[in-house]
Each structure stands twice: as C-alpha cells, then as structure tokens.
Structure 1
Amino acid sequence: MKEWNRMQELNEEHSENKEVQELKTDEANNETSSEETEETIESLQAKVKELQDQYLRVYADFENTKKRMLREKDQSLEYAYERFARDLLPVIDTLESALKSVEDSNNDDEVVKKIGEGVSLTLDNLLKILVKHGIEPIDTQGEFDPNFHDAIMQVPSEAHEDGQIVAELQKGYKYKERVLRPSMVSIAKN
C-alpha cells in the first residue's frame, strides 16, 4: 500500500507539474498573443491613417476639379458670343469697304449718296450693338503692342517715333479682354 500511496503522490506531483507547465505555456502564449495583438492594432491604426490621408487627397482633388469646372463654365458663358463675333468681322470689313468706295467715288449721283448713307447707318448701328455686347475695335493710336497689333511692315516716318504705329491696314477687334482679331498695322522705322 505504501507503494500505492507513493505512486499516487508521484502521479499527483506529475499532474501538478504538468498543470504548472501548461500555465507557464499559456502565460507565454498570452504574452506572445498580447504582443501580436498590439502589433496588429498598431498596423491597423497605421492603415486607417493612410486611408484617411488618401481620402483627404482624393477629396481635395475632387474639390479642385469642381472649382476648375465651375470657373471654365463661367468663362464659357462669359465668352459665349466670341465665335459669333469673330464670324461678324468680315461683314463689318465689307460694310466699311463699301462705305469707303462710295466716299472715294466722285459720283454726284443722288442714288449713290443715299446708298452710302444707308451703309453708314447700318455700319454705325452694327458697331453700337457690338459695343453694347463687349465687342470693341482695338485702338491703334500711339505705341505698338504685340498683344493687340500685328506689324505687317515698317515704314520710314519723320512724324513718328521708332516703334509707333503709322497706319492701320486692317481694323482689329477685342471681345471683353480677349483679342478676336489683332489690328494689322505699319510701324515707324527711323
């Protein structure tokens, strides 16, 4: 019986040792699991921050695109008449040419004078309507400006300083601040 008791004691000790070992293993596993959990949490937090940054960038790009599209829409509406105005320029040129032809002719015929008056009135009314809608002739008095003038030729001139406009060869027009057609001019060369 002693042996039997002794065996039971040893068996109990062995069980206790086994339980202690299991507890130690569980503690080690818990520590490892806890470290892994912390690493996972940190990793997930970094991922969330990265996704938030991406979201903010995409949102900023969207807002910028939206603002640019609104600006382009406003410009499109503001300059909607530009193409139409450009198409009218040859008509104006033709009316001015007809008026000049009538004025240059030394014809005393009453009909020719009446036609000239009609062309003059038509041209004046057309120019007034264009000015009302922001379409104006480009000024060619004074200094040459490459933004508004095309220099076709240089001519010697005692009356003008070097680089000044001597004569307008074709009238230029602008729509608001955009050039529809630059003025063709000759400039002084001394």
Structure 2
Amino acid sequence: MSEEKKEEVTTEEVVEETCETATEEVEVKEETSEDKIAQLEAKLKESEDKYLRVHADFENIKKRLEREKYQAIDYASEKFAKDLLSPIDTLEMALAAEEAAKDMPSDELLGKLKEGVELTIKNFYTAFEKHDISEVEADGEFDPNFHDAVMQIDSPDHEDGMIVQRLQKGYKLKERLLRPAMVSICKK
C-alpha cells in the first residue's frame, strides 16, 4: 500500500504540475492575444492613414486635371490666334504704306497694295496649313457633305450634278467641315 500511495502522490503532483503549466500557457496566450490585438489596431490605423492620404492625393489630382482640362478648352485656339497676328500686321503695314505714299503715282500705289494683299493671303494660308485647315475641293461631282448648292444652271460642258462654278471657298479642319463650299451645279 505504501507504494500505491507513493504512486498516487506522484500522479497528483503530475496533475498539479500539468494544471500549472496549462494555466501559464493560457496566460501567455492571453498576453499574446492582447499583443496581437494591439498590433492589429496599430496596423489598422496605419492602413486608414495610408488610405486617407492616397484618397486626398487622388482628389487633388482629380481637381488639378479638371482645372487643366478647362484651361485647355479655354486656350485651345491660342496657337492659331498667334499665327493670325502676322496677317493682321501685314494688313496694318499696307494701310500705313498707303498713308506714306500719298505723293506716289496711283498705278504704283495700286501695285504695292496688291502686293500687300497677296502677302497677307499667303500669311493666312501658311497659318491655315500649320493648323491643318484645308480648302474643300470644288471640282467634279457635287457632294452634299462638303458643298452647298446655291444655284442650278445649264451647262453643255458639264454632266448633270457636276459642279460648274465655285462661288465661295469651303474649309475643313483636319477632316471636320468648317464651312461648305458654296457652288453652282449643272442641271439638265
């Protein structure tokens, strides 16, 4: 019996030790859980902060792009307007030359004015070319997409529906029609 008591005591001691160890592990797990919760809360705050910063950056970029878009629309024709300054300068010089040449013979003055107008037209066409503005072709067959027929005339030299005469030039910006060519067409 004494051996049995020894074994029982030993078993009780083992059970006691196991309980103590289990309690310590639970306490360690509780501390670990609290630490993990604190760590997760810190990560959550960090993620929220990053989100708010990224969102603020996005909103700032969005506002900047919106502002730039409206500026681009407002100033889209700036380059074209600058290119039109040269023809205006040429016209003003022609008027100033007319004032300065009062004692010049009228034939010579007319020749200089004609030369100034031709130079101005050349400057306009140069500006148009720079900005992909081109004339609408007004030869051949009538196309309602590019021509505006204002008259119908009989012409033995042309077939029915063909353009006889261009009355006003038409213009395109790239492939978009700015103004149709005003034409007369043959009607038989």
TM-score normalised over the length of structure 2: 0.56
Which amino acid letter does the alignment assign opposite residue 84 of structure 1? F
Counterpart Cα distance in 1 of 2:8 and 2:46: 56
2:90 to 69, 78, 94: 94
Do structure 1's residue 26 and structure 2's residue 2 form an aligned pair?
no
User: 1:108, CA displacement in angstroms?
Assistant: 6.4
Question: Equivalent residue for 1:54?
Answer: 50
Q: Would you identify which runs of 4 or more consecutive aligned residues in structure 1 move more than 4 Å?
A: none
Counterpart Cα distance in 2 of 1:108 and 1:94: 22
Counterpart Cα distance in 2 of 1:8 and 1:87: 114
Question: Equivalent residue for 2:106?
Answer: 109
Q: Name the Cα RMSD after superposition.
A: 2.5
After TM superposition, the structure 1 = structure 2 runs for residues 142-161 of structure 1, keeping only pairs within 5 Å, are none
Aligned residues: 115
TM-score normalised over the length of structure 1: 0.55
Give unmatched runs, 5+ long, in structure 1.
123-190
Question: Equivalent residue for 1:147?
Answer: none
Counterpart Cα distance in 2 of 1:19 and 1:103: 123
Question: Equivalent residue for 1:69?
Answer: 65
Helix, strand or coil: the match of 1:90?
helix
Counterpart Cα distance in 2 of 1:53 and 1:19: 50
Which amino acid letter does the alignment assign opposite residue 73 of structure 1? K
Counterpart Cα distance in 2 of 1:70 and 1:84: 23
Counterpart Cα distance in 2 of 1:81 and 1:28: 80
Counterpart Cα distance in 2 of 1:10 and 1:108: 146
2:37 to 10, 24, 41: 41
Question: Equivalent residue for 2:153?
Answer: none
Give unmatched runs, 5+ long, in structure 2.
121-188
Question: Equivalent residue for 1:146?
Answer: none
User: Equivalent pairs: percent with the same residue?
Assistant: 42
Helix, strand or coil: the match of 2:98?
helix
Helix, strand or coil: the match of 2:40?
helix
1:79 to 75, 82, 94: 75
